C-alpha cells in the first residue's frame, strides 16, 4: 500500500480544521448536525489541499459517505494557481450547436497549432492538443 506523507501545508491545514472540530465537539450541548462552516472547512481540505476523502474523514472523525456527499455537492469556487507555469491542457465539452470552430494553441517557445473544423470537432483533436502541448505519444 502506497502511503504518501503530507506536506507541511497540508498537515497544518488538516490540524487547524481538526482543532475546529474538536472545539465544536467540546462546546456543543447535545447531539446535532455539524455546522455548515465546519463542513465547508472539511471540503476545502479536499479541493484546496488535495487531501484524500479517507484521510479527512479519519482525522476529523466524520462519516466517509457524508463527507463524500458534501464534496460532490460543492464545486470549488477558487482554484489554486498552478506552481508549474508550463502549458496546461484543458478539456472542454463540445458545443451543442454545430458551427465553424477554430482552435489555436501556442507553446511558450512560440510554436503554434491551429485547427479549423466545420460542424462538429473530431474527438481526436483532444489527443492532438495533448500531444502538441505535452509531447505525449
* Confidence at residue 93, expressed as pLDDT on a 0 to 100 scale: 67
Number of domain units in the chain: 2
- Per-residue three-class SS string for the chain: CCCCCCCHHHHHHHHHHHHHHHHHHHHCCCCCCCCHHHHHHHHHHHHHHCCCHHHHHHHHCCCHHHHHHHHHHCCCCCCCCCCCCCCCCCCCCCCCCCCCEEEEEECCCCCEEEEEECCCCCCHHHHHHHHHHHCCC
Residue 104 lies in a domain: yes
Same domain, yes or no: 53 and 93: no
Same domain, yes or no: 89 and 50: no
* Confidence at residue 57, expressed as pLDDT on a 0 to 100 scale: 93
Same domain, yes or no: 42 and 88: no
Residue 3 lies in a domain: no
Residue 1 lies in a domain: no
Nearest to 129 by CA among 119, 118, 120, 112: 112
Same domain, yes or no: 61 and 91: no
On the question of pLDDT at 137 being above 70, the answer is: no
Residue 2 lies in a domain: no
Give the residue numbers spanning the domain of 41. Answer: 8-73
* Confidence at residue 21, expressed as pLDDT on a 0 to 100 scale: 93
Which percentage of the chain shows pLDDT scores above 90? 25
Report pTM. Answer: 0.53
Same domain, yes or no: 120 and 101: yes
CA distance 63 to 79: 26
Q: Give residue-wise pLDDT tens across range 36-85.
A: 999 999 998 988 888 889 999 999 999 999 998 888 886 555 555 556 55
Amino acid at each position: 500500500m502506497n502511503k504518501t506523507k503530507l506536506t507541511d501545508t497540508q498537515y497544518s491545514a488538516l490540524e487547524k480544521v481538526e482543532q475546529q472540530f474538536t472545539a465544536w465537539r467540546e462546546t456543543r450541548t447535545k447531539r446535532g448536525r455539524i455546522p455548515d462552516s465546519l463542513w465547508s472547512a472539511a471540503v476545502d481540505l479536499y479541493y484546496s489541499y488535495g487531501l484524500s476523502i479517507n484521510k479527512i474523514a479519519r482525522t476529523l472523525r466524520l462519516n466517509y459517505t457524508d463527507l463524500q456527499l458534501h464534496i460532490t455537492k460543492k464545486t470549488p469556487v477558487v482554484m489554486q494557481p498552478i506552481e508549474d507555469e508550463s502549458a496546461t491542457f484543458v478539456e472542454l465539452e463540445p458545443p451543442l450547436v454545430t458551427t465553424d470552430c477554430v482552435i489555436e494553441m501556442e507553446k511558450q517557445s512560440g510554436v503554434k497549432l491551429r485547427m479549423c473544423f466545420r460542424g462538429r470537432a473530431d474527438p481526436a483533436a483532444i489527443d492532438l492538443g495533448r500531444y502538441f502541448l505535452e509531447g505525449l505519444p
